[in-house]
Amino acid sequence: MARTHSSTAQGADVCAATLNRREFVRRAGMGVAAAATCALLVDRTPAAAATAGPDDEAAGILIDLTRCTGCNSCALACKVANYMPNPETPPQELSSSALSYVSLEQDASGASFHVKRQCMHCLHPACVSACTVGALRKSAEGAVVYDSDKCIGCRYCQYACPFGVPTYDWDNPLGLIHKCQMCFQRTAHGEEPACIAACPNGALRFGRRGDLLVQARARIRTQPERYADHIYGEHEAGGTSVLYLSPVPFDQLRFPVLSDRTVSHDAEAVMKMTPAVALTVASLATGLHLMLRRCHQHDATQSECSNDEEV
């Protein structure tokens, strides 16, 4: 797998990030890790989580589809970084064993394009608003992070996400949710997300969302023949930390057409209208989850006992 630092390939960009990249990654990563670690200490209600999101100072990812060749280096690096099975096989969809993938799309004229798909790390995430137990949280550093210890497996986040991102592990008796967490395990140590570091074509860039928007606007302004005049994620669903540039209109590449209105606003409204249903489902799911966990632990203990007896 070719691994070339993205800043090398993008050296000719009009606007260079002003902050030392490594220092930025280190600070962002430490922040995300600290935020994840201190999750229990903050207000985790859906409304608070949705409104305490990042601004343009927080981390983001810019994906330039005009530079993507569909080599799949990013998707394979993602698998390796997240200890997923079959790290040599390019995934064809998001799943519990693939947090990102590269889809092949055709525009209206029949021309082919490759699109890296992953969590958009929304500024006002509907998944966070829909989660009744605070298992998902928008960190101030940019990433939407997941706490499996809190998850009860109700899958409300799956229904709420306008991008169809969270996946459920049906093979696991504890059925956990899976999604990209912007590689906080790497950025905490001063590294870029694995997909960014793996892209040999400079199609991916990690940095402050505000800087990425400036760079994206400059690319459109200086090369209007190359880009559609649209930064996807600047405003969609209230804005996202993952931004896209494309040579053709995004709706031709199966990007959902969304208004500037936050989807979390609607999700919160629905949740407020159905507290009894939500609480009932949450209670049932919690009970089932605890029951399965107990059975799982019981099975493991039995297995250990029988192994001891065999010895």
Residues that bind ligand SF4 (CB under 6 A): 68-74, 77-78, 81-82, 99-100, 102, 114, 116, 118-122, 125-127, 144, 161, 163, 165-166, 179-180, 182-183, 193-195, 198-199, 201, 203-204
Backbone angles phi, psi at 59, to 5 degrees: -70, 150
Backbone angles phi, psi at 199, to 5 degrees: -70, 120
> Whose structure tokens read 């999700």?
267
Report d(CA 57, CA 293) in Å as an integer. Answer: 40
HSE toward the beta carbon, residue 179, CA cutoff 13 A: 28
> Whose structure tokens read 């600290």?
34
CB of 308 to ligand SF4, least distance (A): 39
CB of 299 to ligand SF4, least distance (A): 31
Neighbours of 186 (CB within 10 A): 17
If the CB atoms of residues 204 and 271 are measured against ligand SF4, the closer one turns out to be 204
If the CB atoms of residues 166 and 213 are measured against ligand SF4, the closer one turns out to be 166
Report d(CA 150, CA 212) in Å as an integer. Answer: 33
Tokens of 145: 């992070």
Closest by CA position to 140, among listed 259, 35, 29: 35
| β-bridge pairing 101-106 and 242-245 | unpaired
CB of 118 to ligand SF4, least distance (A): 4
